[in-house]
Amino acid sequence: MTRHLLSLMDLGADGLAHVLDRAAVLKTLRGSPDHPRPLTGKSVGLLMEKASTRTRISFEVGIGELGGHVVALAGRDLQIARDEPLEDTSRVLSRYLHAVVVRTHGQDRLEQLARGAQVPFINALTDLYHPCQLLADLQTIAEHRSAGLDSLKVAWVGDGNNMAHSWMLASALVGFELHIACPDGYRPEPDVLSIAEAQGRGSIVIVDDPAAAVRGAHVVTTDVWASMGQEEEAAARREAFDGYCVTPQLMALAHTDARFLHCLPAHRGEEVAAEVIDGPASVVWDEAENRLHAQKALLEYLL
Kindly name the residue from 127, 245, 263, 295 that is annotated as catalytic.
263
Indicate if 78 and 203 belong to the same structural domain. no
Tell me how many domains the chain contains. Answer: 2
The pLDDT score that the predictor gives to residue 77 is 72
**Is 82 marked active-site?**
no
4, 98, 130, 165: the catalytic one is 130
Q: Are both 123 and 228 inside the same structural domain?
A: no
Choosing from 54, 98, 103, 165, the catalytic residue is 103
Instruction: Verify that 153 and 271 share a domain, yes or no.
Output: yes
Q: Based on the domain organization, do 22 and 83 belong to the same domain? A: yes
165 is catalytic: no
For position 118, which CATH number holds?
Answer: 3.40.50.1370
Whole-number pLDDT of residue 233: 84
User: Are 109 and 29 members of one domain?
Assistant: yes
Same structural domain for residues 109 and 180? no
3-state secondary structure of 294: helix
Residue-number span of the structural domain to which 102 is assigned: 8-129+289-302
Q: Are residue 111 and residue 154 in the same domain, yes or no? A: no
Angle, helices 131-143 vs 284-302, to 10°: value is 120
Which among 54, 218, 259, 291 is annotated as catalytic? 291
What does the pLDDT read at residue 81? 64
Catalytic residue (one of 22, 139, 223, 262): 223
- The per-residue pLDDT for 132 is 98
Residues 165 and 37 in one domain: no
Q: Is 107 a catalytic residue?
A: no
Report, as ranges of residue numbers, the positions in the chain whose pLDDT lies below 50: none
Task: Considering the candidates 22, 133, 179, 259, report the single residue annotated as catalytic.
Answer: 133
Q: Is 56 a catalytic residue?
A: no
- Summarize pLDDT for 204-239 with one digit per residue, the tens: 999 999 999 999 999 999 999 987 677 778 889 999
Regarding whether 274 and 154 lie in a shared domain, the answer is: yes
- Please indicate whether residue 295 is annotated as part of the active site: no
DSSP 205-259: EEES-HHHHHTT-SEEEE--SS-TT-GGGHHHHHHHTTT--B-HHHHTTS-TT-E
Pairs from 101-108 (Cβ < 8 Å, separation ≥ 24): 101/44, 101/45, 101/46, 101/47, 101/59, 102/47, 102/49, 103/46, 103/47, 103/48, 103/49, 103/50, 103/52, 103/55, 103/56, 104/47, 104/49, 104/50, 104/75, 105/49, 105/50, 105/229, 107/6
Query: Are residue 43 and residue 114 in the same domain, yes or no?
Result: yes
What confidence score (pLDDT) does residue 63 get? 98
Is 291 an annotated catalytic residue?
Answer: yes
Residues 294, 277 share a domain: no
pLDDT at 228: 66
